[in-house]
Amino acid sequence: MRCPYCHGLDTRVIDTSADRSPDEIRRRRVCQNCGERFTTYERPRTSLPLIVKDASGRMEGRREPFDAEKLRHGIRVACAKRPISDSAIDRLVSDIEARLRASGASEVSSRAVGEMVIDGLRDLDEIAYIRYAIVFLGLEDLVAVRDEIDRLLHDQQPPISGHISGAAN
């Protein structure tokens, strides 16, 4: 592990714990060159499927490794200036990663990943959901955006109990 202060490669672990999550190990280290202490977090690297770009155009069919930081960035853009914590965004990214791992697939379409994001944002924040939906669903005009907002509002309304339709006697 390279020291973040002097960039030396001679570091030693002085403490290890699994306090953040069961998948992550926290290690306190000390640099043997400069004596500075720092913390690292380690996660086991497991295989994730390749993401197959399915957008029309020159990227169609291209395969690239899953990139959690790229996904996190896209979600952060949708959540900009919304009351959404970084930890909530990290949980959404981790959930998507876990679902991709659990799928056992060697390849997953970018569309499927986008649908996972849009489902997560729908539960997280309606405004972030609409921002992401505008790009992901290709909503090209205000009527399409309004239709999506109407659909979102309709899904949120509880059914009216005791309402009887039909003519009054």
Q: How many CB atoms lie within 10 A of CB 20?
A: 11
Do 60 and 131 share a structural domain?
Answer: yes
**pLDDT of 159 higher than 70:** no
| Domain of 36, in residue numbers | 11-42
**pLDDT of 72 higher than 90:** yes
Do 149 and 75 share a structural domain?
Answer: yes
Do 73 and 19 share a structural domain?
Answer: no
Give me the phi and psi of 17, to 5 degrees please: -150, 160
Do 108 and 73 share a structural domain?
Answer: yes
In a domain? residue 134: yes
Task: Give helix 110-124 / helix 126-136 axis angle, nearest 10°.
Answer: 160
When pLDDT is cut at 50, 70 and 90, the band that residue 168 belongs to is very low
Do 37 and 54 share a structural domain?
Answer: no
**What is the tally of structural domains in the chain?**
2
In a domain? residue 169: no
Cα dihedral sign for 21, 49, 65, 120? negative
Q: What pLDDT, on the 0 to 100 scale, is given for residue 20?
A: 61
* Whole-prediction pTM: 0.61
Residue whose token pair is 């569309």: 111
Contact 40, 13 (CB under 8 A): no
**pLDDT of 75 higher than 80:** yes
116 or 23: which leads in pLDDT: 116
Cα dihedral sign for 149, 154, 158, 164? positive
Do 15 and 66 share a structural domain?
Answer: no
- Summarised one tens digit per residue, pLDDT across range 79-136 is 999 999 999 999 999 999 999 988 888 899 999 999 999 999 989 999 998 899 888 8
Contact 107, 49 (CB under 8 A): yes
Q: Mean pLDDT in the chain? A: 85
